[in-house]
Amino acid sequence: MRTEPGGCCCRRPVRAKDCVANGEVRNGYVRISAATAAAAAGQIHHVTQNGALYKRPFNEGFEETPMLVAVLTYVGYGVLTLFGYLRDFLRHWRIEKCHHATEREEQKDFVSLYQDFENFYTRNLYMRIRDNWNRPICSVPGARVDIMERQSHDYNWSFKYTGNVIKDVINMGSYNYLGFARNTGPCQEAAAKVLEEYGVGVCSTRQEIGNLDKHEELEKLVASFLGVEAAMTYGMGFATNSMNIPALVSKGCLILSDELNHASLVLGARLSGATIRVFKHNNMQSLEKLLKDAIVYGQPRTRRPWKKILILVEGIYSMEGSIVRLPEVIALKKKYKAYLYLDEAHSIGALGPTGRGVVDYFGLDPEDVDIMMGTFTKSFGASGGYIGGKKELIDYLRTHSHSAVYATSLSPPVVEQIITSMKCIMGQDGTTLGPSLLWPLPLQSTGSGHAGPAAMAHGPSRSMACGILPDRGTNPCPLHRQADSQPLCHQRSPSGSFLNCIILCEDVIHCVAMFCSHSI
Amino acid sequence: MATVAEQWVLVEMVQALYEAPAYHLILEGILILWIIRLLFSKTYKLQERSDLTVKEKEELIEEWQPEPLVPPVSKDHPALNYNIVSGPPSHNIVVNGKECINFASFNFLGLLDNPRLKAAALASLKKYGVGTCGPRGFYGTFDVHLDLEDRLAKFMKTEEAIIYSYGFATIASAIPAYSKRGDIVFVDKAACFAIQKGLQASRSDIKLFNHNDMDDLDRLLKEQEIEDQKNPRKARVTRRFIVVEGLYMNTGTICPLPELVKLKYKYKARIFLEESLSFGVLGEHGRGVTEHFGIDIDDIDLISANMENSLASIGGFCCGRSFVIDHQRLSGQGYCFSASLPPLLAAAAIEALNIMEENPDIFAVLKEKCKRIHNALQGISGLKVVGESISPAFHLQLEESTGCRERDVKLLQEIVTQCMDRGIALTQARYLEKEEKYLPPPSIRVVVTVEQTEEELEKAATTISKVAQTVLL
């Protein structure tokens, strides 16, 4: 039983009847004995931390992939690839019907739009399990959701909607951490009022004539929520990163980016033209080495000193569910005079005793983080992103951010939703609803945490489990890493990052049980 | 020589050794020993070893000073203080406390305060709430999104459409999904910033041709053809794209699409058409520049537009044949890695499409109004009109620049401020001066909407004329 970083010890999760203990693999063929299970459990890496910087113990454990599972996964991919070549051959010689769309007759002699191999994966591997993604829903993405039933009669090449709706599925797949995505209640009423008054669109950019009084109000509120001097908001979370990082750094600067950073951070870093160096995930030794080498040796070849060094980290990494080692990063940043860009897309509203994010969680000073970025999509049930920091930073972004000059501003009802939900979390709406939403999250995520049902599953069986589960009343979503650098991904659902605080405890237990009974 | 070599026998070699003079043997021995020593000795370094000691490294770390995170911005930077709009940015807009008629928002069809749109969005809000809480792949696909994609595809008469949650991200994600490193893209010099960012993200070879100059494009394509003949293997895997806008944001001109289609088939390049301004404006039914010129839509490989202008919503879409569009569902970064469009915005867009389909005569009305104000603004002393007569968003540039961009910007800002004082809301066209490849000259953007009455158009023309005379003298 791990000590919860909040200081409270939580009850050991109740295991349902068929559930396996951590470290065991049960697939009907191999059952690891108790001794090796204990040894496997010992393989959970407890990464040591720099004790002096952490006010409370910080334990993160990640399971190692068992050797058998790893080998079988690769074998599985190999088999699928062989079959893929066979099917391509059959399709080419028209023995098998070709389901996917092809180029027009008039353009057949153009250079082909897709390289053959680019689409090999899509045609032959992804198509088999395609039904696990893009499932349409037709209700609020709350604790329970209605999924539209769809069937495929040609092995996932095309889908038909039967018209039925699978009602009341336990939702373990939406990023609705605090339950603000709802169609009733004060947020929705406020948003409805603003919609009536302001309409839906804005039709202009912030610098031209799209800056509404609502936007100014929101920005002041965000600044006070985060505890920073000023803030600026943008229409899309992804675009916040990809359009503002290029405004902050340019050629001659260095970006140190975590291995598992989100695609938007990677795109923003690439578009900026700065040099990018990647450090191992959450590994402070790797980061320190890179910082030292960067300052001592300067730019490659010319040896000129770097203009600026920017460290890109996220609050919670959506791919692993790990939390950044913020005290250590800040200590390093101060020692080496680098700047810190913290992307709190998942952690804002969800971490910390007052919901102020990972800075609050570690009890640190928001002024230590140079650029605090986050999105409103997850905890606030809206859309858009923000950047908070010192006034000079925000003034600069107001004049030089790509989004302020060329992209439309946030829609007014969405702004109102953010304002209302933020005020609720801060307790400024006169109720205690906000704080009451925050406390169950750590309990629930321990209840199902990494150790238990983040079941290792290789490709086919994982998605088979996902295929069955909506029919059994719960809807996890398999992680699909396109780069496929790590074919052994955790099954995402109950790893804490998708938990909706309004989900009932019984539902969580039910999900965990379902999961265990379907994983290998 | 060969025969001599055959006769060489080991015994004879040893005999030769005995018979050689002593000094010869000693010399040879010394040379052999010297060679062995050279082979095994360490290499001779001309410079001292360049490894730094730990102390030196620490000193370097101490000494290094980074630049400040952001350079200071002066208080009177023209873009620092935004205009604050109180209330909805509709036809009658309150900017900085002054009531004005809106000639600055891209609300071409006047749908921003349309009650039907508001009602549809409200119904969606009551059903789904505001946010979708997930990307399209993970339970962020709502039936509203599928409906909207279906409707857009039917409206544009293409096979498929795909929607994005942000207009800027639409073309900026679409281009890198198809064009990769090593591919060639021919793009107009006046392309908007979103296209430039998409091209930068794609890492392809960019070839710029003069604005709307088909001869220049022909020349570039021909040069590329000659290059291809030199290296046919490489040419067989290099994709070619032409990226143009239907109605250019920076110049208000329309691209010559028929010639482009001819060039497409001649040189086998694919066309990507950005129709943010022309969707819902050009063409008999508002289908854009393809309808305007009467071109078969299947000839255009990808049409991308944002829903933030004519449809008065937020977001963007791409439409085209399934063969092309389906690829973006896995490769479009802004589609896969971002939360989906809030359903109320999608519902508003569907309603806007309904209105467009029910009232096809608004497009003709809009064209009329554009022509009217275009004519009325001709001949203003000091300002010239830049843009086509049927373009609803055109520019007013200084006839004679003062020589310094800052001063030009100040003059135009003065005109804009005085117009706002007199009840006409205008705006300067904003650019990022250091980031644009071909920075357009400073200008005032005038936007025409169907809601503007004839009197208002007249008033605008006379106001601008008077103010220009006062300011520019």
Lowest mean pLDDT among A157-166, A193-202, B168-177: A157-166
Q: How far apart are the first and last CA of chain A?
A: 24
**Strands B270-274 and B302-306, how do they pair?**
parallel
Q: Which residue of A102, A191, A296 is in closest CB contact with B52?
A: A296
Q: Tell me the per-residue pLDDT of B239-293, one tens digit each, with 9 for 90 and over.
A: 999 999 999 999 999 999 999 999 999 999 999 999 999 999 999 999 999 999 9
Q: Tell me the per-residue pLDDT of B104-114, one tens digit each, with 9 for 90 and over.
A: 999 999 999 89
Q: Could you tell me the strand order of the sheet in which B85-86 lies?
A: B85-86, B92-95, B98-102, B424-425
- Find the mean pLDDT for residues A110-137: 84
pLDDT at A447 over 80: no
Q: Return the residue of B nearest to A412 by Cα.
A: B88
Concerning whether A346 is annotated as a catalytic residue, the answer is yes
What is the pLDDT at residue B459? 93
| C-beta atoms of B66 and A338 within 8 A | yes
- Find the mean pLDDT for residues A2-16: 41
Q: Tell me the per-residue pLDDT of A365-400, one tens digit each, with 9 for 90 and over.
A: 999 999 999 999 988 989 999 999 999 999 999 999
B 363-402 → A contacts, CB under 8 A: none
What is the pLDDT at residue A293? 92
Q: How many interface pairs between A and B have CB atoms less than 8 angstroms apart?
A: 358
- Alpha carbon of A392: minimum distance to chain B alpha carbons (Å): 7
Count CA atoms closer than 13 A to A352's CA, side-chain side: 28
Q: Return the residue of A nearest to B169 by Cα.
A: A239
Is B121's Cβ below 8 Å from some Cβ in A? yes
Distance separating alpha carbons of residues B423 and B100, to the nearest angstrom:
4
Distance separating alpha carbons of residues B361 and B365, to the nearest angstrom:
6
Question: Which residues of A are less than 8 Å from B72 in CB distance?
Answer: 392
Concerning whether A318 is annotated as a catalytic residue, the answer is yes
| C-beta atoms of A382 and B140 within 8 A | no
Of A214, A215, A333, A378, which residue is the catalytic one? A378
- Find the mean pLDDT for residues A353-375: 92
Q: What would the DSSP string read from start to end of B68-108?
A: PSS----TT-TTTSPPPEES--SSEEEETTEEEEE-SS--T
Q: Which residue of B104, B142, B326 is in closest CB contact with A204?
A: B104
pLDDT at A457 over 90: no
Q: Tell me the per-residue pLDDT of B180-205, one tens digit each, with 9 for 90 and over.
A: 999 999 999 999 999 999 999 999 99
Concerning whether A378 is annotated as a catalytic residue, the answer is yes
| C-beta atoms of B165 and A236 within 8 A | yes
Give the SS3 label for residue A477: coil
Q: Which two tokens stand for residue A480?
A: 């699909």
- Find the mean pLDDT for residues B312-340: 92
**Complex-level ipTM:** 0.86
Q: Tell me the per-residue pLDDT of A292-306, one tens digit each, with 9 for 90 and over.
A: 999 999 899 898 999
What is the pLDDT at residue A72? 94
| C-beta atoms of A198 and B87 within 8 A | yes
B4 contacts: CB under 8 Å, gap ≥ 6 = none
Q: Could you tell me the strand order of the sheet in which A309-314 lies?
A: A230-234, A385-389, A371-375, A339-343, A309-314, A254-258, A275-279
Distance separating alpha carbons of residues A368 and A360, to the nearest angstrom:
12
- Alpha carbon of B94: minimum distance to chain A alpha carbons (Å): 10
| C-beta atoms of A196 and B122 within 8 A | yes
Q: Return the residue of B nearest to A206 by Cα.
A: B82
What is the pLDDT at residue A409? 92
What is the pLDDT at residue A51? 59
| C-beta atoms of B128 and A139 within 8 A | yes
- Alpha carbon of B472: minimum distance to chain A alpha carbons (Å): 22
Tell which of B57, B60, B70 to mutate to test the A interface (max A CBs under 10 Å): B70
- pLDDT level of residue A475 (50, 70, 90 thresholds): low
Give the SS3 label for residue B350: helix
Q: Return the residue of A nearest to B78 by Cα.
A: A399
Is B59's Cβ below 8 Å from some Cβ in A? no
**Strands B141-142 and B98-102, how do they pair?**
unpaired
- Find the mean pLDDT for residues B305-324: 93
- Find the mean pLDDT for residues A308-317: 94
Q: Tell me the per-residue pLDDT of B115-127, one tens digit each, with 9 for 90 and over.
A: 999 999 999 999 9
- Find the mean pLDDT for residues A214-238: 94
